[in-house]
Structure 1
Amino acid sequence: MARKKIEIMDTTLRDGEQTSGVSFSASEKLTIAKLLLEELKVDRIEIASARVSEGEFQAVKNVTNWASQAGYIDQVEVLTFVDKGVSIDWMIEAGAKVQNLLTKGSLNHLTHQLKKTPNQHFKEIEESINLAKEKAIKTNVYLEDWSNGMRNSKDYVFEFLAFLSTQPIKRIMLPDTLGVLTPAESFAFVSEIKSKYPHLHFDFHAHNDYDLGVSNALEALKAGADGLHLTINGMGERAGNAPMASTIAVINDFLPAVEVGVNEKVLYTVSKLVENFSGVMIPANKPIIGANVFTQTAGIHADGDNKKNLYFSDLLPERFGRTRKYALGKASGKANIQKNLQELGLQLNDEDLKKVTQRIIELGDKKQVVTKEDLPYIISDVLDRTYEEKVKVESYVLTHSKGLKPSTTVSITINGKNYEENASGDGQFDAFMNAIRTIFKNINFVLPNLIDYAVRIPPGSHSDALCETIITWKSPDKEFKTRGLDSDQTVSAIKATEKMLNIIIN
């Protein structure tokens, strides 16, 4: 059986730009338009509302100039109004060829906003459509608030559709303007319309106010809808529109009788570009495109993936140009860490792997995020213990108050004996070192001089996760370095110092 080809119209540059605080520049609109049509391969794009501003006019002109040369001009659409041809004149000047005419899809909107009768409204719509036809402009028609129209004034909606069925238009577009439909209603309403007008083309336009945008789009397609309106990252007014990435994945995986031409492989790339241009961040748990959605955190999942991909589904990251990751944290098991080590080309024996796992769990208990790039530093820190641990920093209190010198109280054990000292200094670590020097001076032990102190964040890590402190020490007979690793810079320096103390005692 032949699959039904569904048109995907992207309205990121029109409806998506109505996201609070978002305004794309002319060059950004052109870049996104090119990506949507050339790379993502959506069927159509809606790029602006007519008559908005001079800047919008120039942005539309830039897109239509490119689209005309590249052969996409009939796939570029502009929202217009029933305004005696003012929108059409604007479109012609801007170089656009397809209007999406905004009309009233509910009697409530018609009566209280336009204060007109259905016949008056239909007559003005007919004039707009004929004027567009005279000027070689193709027309699609939006039935604004159609969902409430079907709920509360169905006779009006079908009277409107009967009128539109006689008009020279290409598509009728059914928006759930306020995002109020349930999936059952979406199916029922579209089914009722398609059964009466099987040969007309109907687009379904979902909003996401109840987080039902994807479900409603799915049900509309099952009911026979011929096209969908989607936005990148689900951008749009209020809670936004049905999101492109999730909807396309759902169609491809759960509607075998339906075919869409969207290129899944570039969904993530386009989503990240729109994120950067719009300034609206993608939530980490956003399906398909979120930072965490292809990341396994629990060690048992990584173990299952090692044993016949037990935690894989059809939603494979490679479909969307992404890769599976295995998070490192307090829920990590050895399997998670082994997966990350494999990617880095590293191997550890069971004993060392156990030590590294324990260190990562400790960091996770502090709510620190550990990345794959942190692993070499953690391994170095954990396994860099070729000495017997004779010195242990048991506890310390670091204080820093405005107008007072930082001070430290330190408790350490040397060869099983405990020592405690308090000191102040120019900074917290300086105060710590002064206390340590006093303790070792009292046992007639001279510490090496600190000659260099460097702090760095492992590449790819986060500033709130790990930092590595490397301290260079110089004693009369040698110069050496020690490293400390922790989420806190001062603590990492203290750990590097503890290593130094063990090296000289041993």
Structure 2
Amino acid sequence: MHNIAIYDTTLRDGSQSEEIHLSTADKIRIACKLDDLGIGYIEGGWPGSNPTDMSFFKEIKNYELKTSKVAAFGSTHLANSSPETDKNLQSLIAARTEVITIFGKTWDIHVQEALRTTLDRNLEIIHNSLAFLRPQVAELFFDAEHFFDGFKANREFAMACLDRAVQAGADSIILCDTNGGTLPHEVGDIVAQVRKAFPHTVLGIHAHNDGELAVANSLQAVQNGVRHIQGTINGYGERCGNANLCSIIPNLEIKMDIPCLPQGCMAKLTNVSHVVSEIANVRSFHRQPFVGKSAFAHKGGVHVSAVQKNPKTYEHIPPALVGNKQRILLSDLAGQSNILFKAKRYGFDLDKNDPFVLELLSELKHRENRGYEFSAAEASFELLLNRVMGRSRDYFKIIAFRVFDTQRSEDDDPFTEATVMVKVGGMVEHTAATGMGPVNALDNALRKALQRFYPNIATMHLVDFKVRVLWDLKNDDGQFAGTASQVRVLIESRDQHTQWVTVGVHYNILEASRQALEDSINYKLFKDDQAKLTRALRDRDQ
């Protein structure tokens, strides 16, 4: 089996996702990550459509890419013009890329109703556009738009479009499932027919995900002779997205034994997925196969017990192959295996019959029954574990707190002030602070009270704050509590070294926030103490 060329179109198709907007700087950063991953082709955008894409093609020339070739994307010339006068084709040439990809209509309904021209004229447009570009570029690709729908509607015309593209000198013909509604068995059958008709032409696949089949269709196309796959990182794209390269690449390399990246590069895949989502300002999809945070997460006690003996029992690949890692979650489904695994990770080698394990498991189930979510807030669990084991001290105690929220007039912003009384050792600190809302005011007051005792808390800051209403919880009368429901607050914090999540639960949102804030600061102080102890032991041994 030949190697598969991976053609990434995140910077063009991916940016057409409704929640994504990429600046030139964003595109450069993503392109560099794709090059480091070993992607063969990077489609930078459509230079004739907007200034950002043209700026990208100019700026990317300042970077020496190791493995990737940059492609400019555009369309065939307009029906009422010629290649020599078409501004779109001129912009493609002006981008001065190694590769140019243009798309053309191959579905008769598009030719007649969208272009408002004849089928014969469309064949001329495809041939003339590619023939005009051929001398100007090292590699020339033709995206046969709506090919699968076009083939099913008018096989003779769709195939004639491909024939004209091959005659004009296209290096690769990419069959596009633009509406994303073709089924895998249809893709396999149609690709096989095209392969037979054009045995010496490199075929590609460009699948959209409207039927949740873009990855399956891409792999099916490979099975029937395709050697070029187009897709995006994380499956970003218009409507339901494009074929997800983060699933296609490991399926090809691990499951089908077909190389598509330089050796050793696939272990970077998870990092690239997360970096691209950060740059695109889209939260990572935890349950994304292969690279998602939950892809190798185990929650049920039976599962945990099994994967500890042999990971193959519940993992279809070793997560390290794609740069991911196994995670053991904690919940009310957790058994002793979960507790033992987590305890060992935090430095406690316990026996399953140890009273500490039974106490911790009982406390864990009790808290999660009230709405705590330790699988998402491992810092709170680590504190709980160390408290049960007697290894974590109380750094401070909140004796009382109060929050005032007032609005002087309808047009003014609310004014928020919090007061706290905190006991540290034998000393009591009573102070107040204002803030942007009640949680921020409480955070500011708490920090102000603790600052002189623990100055290192100045290095930590809040990264994310989430509130979830637990609608499944009911009041004492057995009715759903509505606005009086329990709420779960998750607070994500970080310092210069690490990032952590803590949790609080209560029917009062401020109390839930107080719990999560208190855990967050305690965790920071606890980890700093551990770091000091580690340094002291190392210095002593030296």
- Sort the TM-score into its range (normalised by shorter chain): 0.7 to 0.9
* SS across alignment from 1:345: coil
- 1:317-338 Cα deviation digits (max 9, x unpaired): 1112222110011111111111
List aligned pairs for 1:12-411, cutoff 5 A. 12-37=10-35, 39-66=36-63, 69-70=64-65, 75-83=69-77, 84=83, 85-136=86-137, 138-256=139-257, 258-261=258-261, 263-309=265-311, 311-348=313-350, 350-370=354-374, 371-382=377-388
Q: 1:411 — aligned with what?
A: none
The alignment of Structure 1 onto Structure 2 pairs a total of residues equal to: 419
- Write the distance in 2 (CA, Å) between the matches of 1:7 and 1:25: 27
- Write the distance in 2 (CA, Å) between the matches of 1:57 and 1:48: 8
- Write the distance in 2 (CA, Å) between the matches of 1:427 and 1:120: 73
Q: Aligned-residue CA RMSD in angstroms?
A: 3.3
Q: How big is the shift at 1:465?
A: 6.0
Q: How big is the shift at 1:127?
A: 2.3
Note if contact 1:246-1:287 (Cα within 8 Å) is conserved in structure 2: yes
Q: Is residue 451 of structure 1 aligned with residue 445 of structure 2?
A: no
- Write the distance in 2 (CA, Å) between the matches of 1:401 and 1:53: 50
Q: How big is the shift at 1:96?
A: 1.9
Counterpart residue type for residue 359 of structure 2: K
- 1:252-275 Cα deviation digits (max 9, x unpaired): 23323x322263211111111111
- 1:227-263 Cα deviation digits (max 9, x unpaired): 111100100000000101111122223323x322263
Query: Could you say if the C-alpha distance between residues 490 and 92 of structure 1 is closer, same or farther in structure 2, counting changes exceeding 3 Å?
Result: closer
Query: Could you say if the C-alpha distance between residues 486 and 94 of structure 1 is closer, same or farther in structure 2, counting changes exceeding 3 Å?
Result: closer
Note if contact 1:373-1:458 (Cα within 8 Å) is conserved in structure 2: no
Note if contact 2:127-2:167 (Cα within 8 Å) is conserved in structure 1: no
- Write the distance in 2 (CA, Å) between the matches of 1:129 and 1:401: 69
Note if contact 1:140-1:170 (Cα within 8 Å) is conserved in structure 2: yes
Counterpart residue type for residue 293 of structure 1: A
Q: How big is the shift at 1:17?
A: 0.9
Query: Could you say if the C-alpha distance between residues 98 and 88 of structure 1 is closer, same or farther in structure 2, counting changes exceeding 3 Å?
Result: farther
Task: Structure 2 unaligned segments of length 5 or more: list them.
Answer: 78-82, 392-401, 407-416, 431-445, 448-456, 467-487, 492-502, 519-542
Counterpart residue type for residue 82 of structure 1: T
Q: How big is the shift at 1:299?
A: 1.2
- 1:74-114 Cα deviation digits (max 9, x unpaired): x2111112222422321333322322111001111111111
Note if contact 1:132-1:138 (Cα within 8 Å) is conserved in structure 2: no
* SS across alignment from 2:311: coil
Query: Could you say if the C-alpha distance between residues 35 and 460 of structure 1 is closer, same or farther in structure 2, counting changes exceeding 3 Å?
Result: closer
Counterpart residue type for residue 43 of structure 2: E
Q: 1:480 — aligned with what?
A: none
Note if contact 2:144-2:162 (Cα within 8 Å) is conserved in structure 1: no
Counterpart residue type for residue 113 of structure 1: A
Note if contact 1:30-1:63 (Cα within 8 Å) is conserved in structure 2: yes
* SS across alignment from 1:103: strand
Identity %: 21
Larger radius of gyration: 1
- Write the distance in 1 (CA, Å) between the matches of 2:5 and 2:368: 46
- 1:188-241 Cα deviation digits (max 9, x unpaired): 110110012111111101111111111111111111111111100100000000
Task: Structure 1 unaligned segments of length 5 or more: list them.
Answer: 386-398, 404-425, 431-447, 468-484, 497-506
- Write the distance in 2 (CA, Å) between the matches of 1:351 and 1:321: 37
